[in-house]
Amino acid sequence: MGRGGRKTVKAIPYRNSSEPLPRIKRRRDRNKTCFYEYGNDYDENTGRWTLYLDIIRGNHDLVDYVRFKFSSGETYDVRNRSPVTLSDGLDVHRFTLVRLCFPDCKRISVTLCGRGGTRSNTSGCHAEPANVRERSLMFVEWRELRPNYVPAPDIKFGIELELSYSEEIDHTIIASYISKYANVPVEVFTNDYQLGKADVHGWKLVYDGTIACSPTSPDCSKFELVSPILNGQNGLDECDRVLDAMKKAGTISVNKSMGFHVHVNVADLSLEHKKNVCLNFVKYENEIDKFMPSSRRDYSNNIYIKSNRDAINQSGNGRKHSAIIDCRSINELSDVINPGKSRYYKLNLQNLITERRTTIEFRQHSSTGKFEKVEAWVRFCTRLVHNSTTRPPSLKPNDDAFGLLFDTVIQDIKLKEFYRQRKIAVAGGVENHNDANSVDRGQCCGGCAKGHACES
């Protein structure tokens, strides 16, 4: 391993360290420019062929993805980038495609695709068992960066939002607004907790005894909003319509007693894939804490969102990592991640044990009535599950945890920027901002930190 736990390229192609690194001449171009090198690395012992593109200097977040296209017609878009230390000591961000063979093709073209839509087409590599590294090329993204998310994965999910209205509104009226303006079926079970557990076709408003009205609104209308099974972008669009319809009924109000839970379907995932999800969550739990409000972190003593990392009865990153890897069944994995069969952890696996649902639950996020926050967290959770296909290494002390989380696991630049701004806001003590268009993505105002209400 290289510095800070980075992977070190020990075999050729070596980078010619006698060549000076290219420089960005004008200060104003620094955020628009990066330099890259590409090539292939063939291992004759294993037959493994690695195609790569390295961002060697400049803003690597300008790159949306790298496209490798073979003369046979096969095309692969790679969004995952990993920090790598080359044999000459240079730290780069690498896009990699690994294959055992590339049949029926004579040439491989390499295209760097920027976030503004600009593309840099290269002459590419010959498809032959050789080690090649091309000279540095410059990429400039002159266009405005697109504020688009990566397409939502085709994965089923559901949401649970604990909410209230500051004024007293009958729950049936709230349901009627949702039904009318969002055009979805809604049922009300706020008077019967047991009936609220029943699976229904549409959305439902149910009772939740953990929700407290704020002192300034003691007669608030409180409830939990539960979605049906949703999927991908269509599911997110439905969430948007429902939240918009609810605002027509009155002002949504949240406080620190209220949470936002996301269920993600893992029915088709192997035990190894589920373990990888847990490995990634535990690996990055401390970093995820940094873009959560103080009431949703470890030191908050919130009994409903206990730390999975702290629950693992091992010290050190490596041992915690091994405790998950060594699990031989979902029951063993659950015992490690949720000791005592408690569901009150940030990551809850208990549905997989009771077989009530084939979902894992992300419980950490605070409640909100703003769709942009709901969308961001749903995308984060579904992409973490979807992209945890390979076993991650344990985190090293000098690693950039935030960069690794979003570049290698989440793989969505817009989400990265969303939570970068959220992290800045939380670090600055900003716990809520009522402007939906602001970059200060807080969840709880100064008043609700003391038990008072604020707009979501």
423: its two tokens: 């992290």
Per the CB < 8 A criterion, the answer to whether 8 and 2 are in contact is: yes
From first CA to last CA, the distance across the chain in angstroms is 45
> How far apart are the C-alpha atoms of 133 and 40, rounded to whole Å?
7
> How far apart are the C-alpha atoms of 224 and 439, rounded to whole Å?
27
> How far apart are the C-alpha atoms of 385 and 352, rounded to whole Å?
15
* pLDDT reported for residue 28: 60
The residue type at 381: C
Q: Return the axis-axis angle of helices 413-427 and 371-386, rounded to nearest 10°.
A: 120
Residue 66 forms beta bridges with which residues?
A: 78, 112
Q: Does domain 147-456 have CATH number 3.30.590?
A: yes
Per the CB < 8 A criterion, the answer to whether 115 and 70 are in contact is: no
Which residues 6+ apart lie within 8 Å of 93 measured at CB? Answer: 54, 55, 60, 81, 82, 83, 84, 407
Biggest distance spanned by C-alpha atoms of the chain: 75
| Model confidence pLDDT, tens digit, residues 124-155 | 777 666 677 888 899 999 898 888 899 999 99
Confidence of residue 13 (pLDDT cuts 50, 70, 90): very low
Which residues 6+ apart lie within 8 Å of 454 measured at CB? Answer: 253, 254, 255, 432, 434, 444, 445, 447, 448
> How far apart are the C-alpha atoms of 29 and 22, rounded to whole Å?
14
| Model confidence pLDDT, tens digit, residues 394-447 | 877 778 999 999 999 999 999 999 999 999 998 877 655 333 332 233 344 434
**Least confident piece of the model among 52-56, 88-92, 237-241:** 88-92
Residue 263 forms beta bridges with which residues?
A: 158, 361
Per the CB < 8 A criterion, the answer to whether 408 and 290 are in contact is: no
The residue type at 6: R
Q: Is residue 259 classed as helix, strand or coil in its secondary structure?
A: strand
Residue in 342, 345, 387, 350 with CA at minimum distance from that of residue 362:
345
Residue 165 forms beta bridges with which residues?
A: 221, 252
Per the CB < 8 A criterion, the answer to whether 427 and 290 are in contact is: yes
Strands (E), 91-185: 91-99, 107-114, 119-121, 125-126, 132-133, 137-140, 156-165
Residue in 307, 357, 359, 366 with CA at minimum distance from that of residue 337:
307
Q: How would you classify the pairing of strands 91-99 and 81-85?
A: antiparallel
For the domain covering 3-140, report its CATH number.
2.60.40.10
- Residue 395, class by beta-carbon neighbours within 10 Å (0-12 exposed, 13-18 middle, 19+ buried)? buried
* pLDDT reported for residue 438: 29
| Model confidence pLDDT, tens digit, residues 328-379 | 999 999 999 999 999 999 999 999 998 778 999 999 999 999 999 999 999 9
* Average pLDDT of the chain, as a whole number: 85
Going from N- to C-terminal start, the domains of the chain cover 3-140, 147-456
The upper half-sphere exposure of residue 297, i.e. CA atoms within 13 Å in the direction of its Cβ, equals: 15
Which residues 6+ apart lie within 8 Å of 268 measured at CB? Answer: none
328: its two tokens: 């031989």
The structure's pTM equals 0.85
The one-character DSSP state at 80 is -
Per the CB < 8 A criterion, the answer to whether 330 and 352 are in contact is: yes
Residue 7 has pLDDT above 60, yes or no: no
* pLDDT reported for residue 444: 42
The residue type at 296: R
The residue type at 179: S
Strands (E), 350-453: 359-362
